[in-house]
Amino acid sequence: MYYEGNVWVGVNDAREKITLLPKMANRHGLVAGATGTGKTVTLKVLAESFSDMGVPVFMADVKGDIAGISIPGDDSENMQERIARFGLADAGFSYKGYPVTLWDIYGEKGVTLRTTISEIGPVLLARLMELNELQSDILSIVFKIADDNNLLLIDTKDLKAMLNYVSEHNSEFEAQYGKMSPQSIAAIVRALVSLEVAGGDKFFGEPAVNIMDFFTFGDAGKGMINILDSSSLINNTKLYSTFLLYLLSELFERLPEVGDMDKPKMVFFFDEAHLLFKDAPKALLEKIEQVVKLIRSKGVGVYFCTQNPRDIPDGVLAQLGNKIQHGLRAYTPSDQKSVKAAAESYRENPAFNTYDTILNLGTGETVISFLGGDGIPTMAEKVYILPPQSNFGSISDSQRDTLIKSSICYSKYAEAVDPDSAYEFLQRRGVEEAEALEKEKAEAEAAKQREKEEKEAAKQAEKAEKEAARKAEAEAKAAQREKEKEEAAKKRAAKTVANSITGTVGREVGKTVGGKFGKFGKTLGGNVGASLGRGLLSTLFSK
């Protein structure tokens, strides 16, 4: 209850008011206790006070009963008894509802909450997909390749397309980014498919949540109580814790430094906080511890709610200045050590034994230590938690539907959109590469056909050339034979003429010579002269 400028949480045995100073609210806190000890009521009382103070709140509704904070509480005999016991009537206690925005990753019981693959980053995503160290490194490299190529990773199909693209073009990236085995990439793809089956396909997308939408206000300046319905989400513990850690990281990264303020800008309740740290790698634990240490200067108070303080790592636990410890049960030696450790974390109060008190706390009873105005923790006090001013229980489906659709965020996030991102870009690139490959193949085929045709043409030309040469040679030989035949004919004709002439001359000479020896000598001389003349001519022609 918000009373006289402070968060009034409860009263001690002396009926003194136990309050949390607003300026110390961003020093973070712890609400711990076994199941059924009243942690949910404590969270409601704190959330109501912060809302009345004008401070927006973000909290998870694991059991589905926190949404009742949106409607006024019901008067009853039990409530009248509490009001009288705590003196609430004189303090202005009244039943009232608070401004609420319901959120749901699955979009069923609240305004749809989404984020993008790029925004959640490789570290949280690797944890969400339960990747080993090697696979986590490869996932980080894939994110780097996407960033270097200005590729937006919006949803799971974008990341899947990116993983497949890197696997197919591994040789192109190996020199710059290192070797990435196809087997490891295939394992990441399988983990991504499992995440889709678990609802990741709804969680990742656009429009992504803008954390500034949590910083809204209701009537009379009351801080908006943003409630994440986690009744179904809690079944996927990795998704639940990873998403809340993502929101915390976003607040840290996006909010400006404000230093110490009179009251927080926002209070973030992390219910079932043990899920955040379970099986978390060392690097992630260091990141969480860093965020918790530094986010105080951004004006954000973080309150971890869990069953046992030992669920919180020492490095984080040391940052939680405001502690509300509900009852713990010690059934085993290990439990006894846990209770002892919880008791020893408080500033000792000589009026009671903290260890025994924690073991014997009833429902709605706590041991509290808040930071005083000087920043020093107060002594442990046994405190009885005030009742909430809103309804204890849940709300009906019709009331939930009205709350969802009356939210200013409903129309903004109701419809998912699929922007042009890595998947579409790589699809186009794949088509372009296929077309280029087809074109290259066609050009190679055409070049091969041209080469074949050129070889055939060359072969035909060579054949034609040989045929022409053969024909020319044959014609030349025929012409030579014809020439020789003509020359032989000419020789024969000349020889015949010469024979006739030489024979005639020889005969005449022979006759003249032989005529001196009578008629017989003349005839013999003519014949001998003709023969000698022809013989001499043949000798000359043969040369």
pLDDT at 486: 86
pLDDT at 197: 86
Looking at every residue in the chain, the average pLDDT score rounds to 88
H-only helix segments in 26-116: 39-52, 77-86
- Tracing tokens 């003709």 back to the chain, one arrives at 530
- Examine the pLDDT at 21 and tell me if it is beyond 90: yes
Report angle CA 339, 270, 231 to the nearest 5 degrees.
105
- The separation between the first and the last C-alpha atoms of the chain, rounded to the nearest angstrom, is 150
pLDDT at 335: 86
pLDDT at 278: 80
Average pLDDT over residues 210-237: 91
Q: Residue 72 burial by CB count (10 A; 0-12/13-18/19+): exposed, middle or buried? A: middle
Average pLDDT over residues 438-444: 85
Structure tokens at 9: 């949480």
pLDDT at 488: 84
pLDDT at 71: 94
- Examine the pLDDT at 502 and tell me if it is beyond 80: no
Contact 55, 264 (CB under 8 A): yes
Average pLDDT over residues 471-488: 87
Residue 444 CB-half CA count within 13 A: 6
Q: 201 falls in which pLDDT band (50, 70, 90)? A: confident
pLDDT at 237: 84
CA-nearest of 501, 498, 70, 58 to 243 is 58
Average pLDDT over residues 148-163: 93
Q: What is the pLDDT of residues 85-139, one digit of tens each?
A: 898 988 889 999 999 999 999 888 999 999 999 999 998 999 889 899 999 999 9
Report angle CA 70, 247, 130 to the nearest 5 degrees.
120
Q: 505 falls in which pLDDT band (50, 70, 90)? A: low
Q: How far is Cα 253 from Cα 260, in angstroms, rounded to an integer? A: 18
Contact 345, 353 (CB under 8 A): no
pLDDT at 535: 61
Structure tokens at 422: 């890595």
Q: How far is Cα 203 from Cα 210, in angstroms, rounded to an integer? A: 14
Three-class HEC string of 433-498? HHHHHHHHHHHHHHHHHHHHHHHHHHHHHHHHHHHHHHHHHHHHHHHHHHHHHHHHHHHHHHHHHH
- Examine the pLDDT at 465 and tell me if it is beyond 60: yes
Q: What is the pLDDT of residues 360-411, one digit of tens each?
A: 999 999 999 999 988 899 999 999 999 999 998 889 999 999 999 999 999 9
Sign of the torsion angle spanned by Cα atoms 125, 128, 133, 134: negative
Q: What is the pLDDT of residues 292-320, one digit of tens each?
A: 888 999 999 999 999 889 889 888 898 99
- Examine the pLDDT at 181 and tell me if it is beyond 60: yes
- Examine the pLDDT at 29 and tell me if it is beyond 70: yes
pLDDT at 382: 95
CB burial readout 186-215, b (16+ within 10 A) else e = ebbeebbeebbebbbebbbbbbbbebebbb
Average pLDDT over residues 219-241: 89
- Tracing tokens 């712890």 back to the chain, one arrives at 30
